[in-house]
Copies of this chain bind each other. A is one copy, B any other.
Amino acid sequence: MRYTVFSGGKRIRPILCLAACQSAGGKDSDAIDVACAIELIHNYSLIHDDLPSIDDDDTRRGEPTLHKKFSESTAILAGDALLTLSFGILSKDSFSKRRFRVINELSHAISSFGMIGGQVVDIQSKNKDIDTATLNYINIHKTGMLIAASLKAGAISGGAKESDVKRIFKFGEYAGLIFQIVDDILDNDGYAKMLGRQGAYIEAQRLTQEARLILKSSGRGARVLNAILEFILKRGY
């Protein structure tokens, strides 16, 4: 569990979560447990994605993947344990209606209706020509849902009013899609193959403009969110 969690990573999801909390007027302490739980969930998903029967990846962040370093059974169980630990962290100490809702939102986002659903369709599509609708389904679910849920969970934790929770979730859906397009540009895959690298980058820029309009508010949280969006976009430059 430590081997993967402390092997680096950009911590984009927890940062988005904390920024969303700030933008709602909350303190970091309102969302720090949520942010940590989300990063553990993300790391669990990486460990299981890398497994031989799924993506069969030998390296991650420049190091051997967990199943290469230890064993396949260790990787399966470490992933299970990280997923479980995330709910342990979400439910420790601070009991509140907000936190209860966060648990429900996150479990939905990573369920078979969310992240896992996207992963299943991705596996079923391997080595097949897929249409844009399927590619969108995969990306929205496999990558987008957890990113959008990170923002939503932060906003809820910070006490945002319902209309702001909705808006920040919408922003998160854009952020997730942009993240994936940029990933595809870097890997010359998915959208980059479908639209060409230049076309994909233009699409990412267009979506970034749209996402900025959704945020509207101009407080410190919104500035941080816009800066992260810029960072996500620039990775593909």
Contact of A48 with B104 in the complex, beta carbons under 8 Å: no
Identical copies in the complex: 2
Contact of A54 (CB < 8 Å), options: B1, B73, B104:
B73
A53 with B71: CB separation less than 8 A: yes
Beyond A87-B107, A91-B107, 15 additional contacts (C-beta under 8 Å) are: A1-B112, A53-B76, A54-B77, A73-B123, A77-B112, A77-B120, A80-B83, A81-B111, A83-B83, A84-B116, A85-B107, A87-B103, A91-B103, A95-B101, A100-B100
Beta-carbon contacts under 8 Å, A69-110 to B: 71-74, 76-77, 79-81, 83-85, 87-88, 90-92, 95, 97, 99-101, 103-104, 107-108, 110
Interchain CA distance A71-B74 in the complex, whole Å: 19
Asked if A43 is at the interface (CB within 8 A of a chain B CB), the reply is: no
- Residues of B near A103 (CB, < 8 A) are 87, 90-91, 103
Nearest B-chain residue to A45, judged by Cβ: B80
- Write 30 A-B pairs (CB below 8 A) sorted by A numbering: A44-B80, A48-B76, A48-B77, A48-B80, A51-B73, A51-B76, A53-B76, A54-B76, A54-B77, A73-B123, A74-B120, A77-B119, A77-B123, A80-B116, A81-B111, A81-B112, A83-B84, A84-B111, A84-B116, A85-B112, A87-B87, A87-B103, A88-B107, A88-B108, A91-B104, A91-B107, A95-B97, A95-B100, A95-B101, A100-B100
Chain A: residues with Cβ within 8 Å of the partner, total of 39
With a CB–CB cut-off of 8 A, which chain B residues contact A112? 1, 77, 81, 84-85
CB neighbours (8 Å) of A72 from chain B are 53
CA distance A1 to B99 in the complex (A): 27
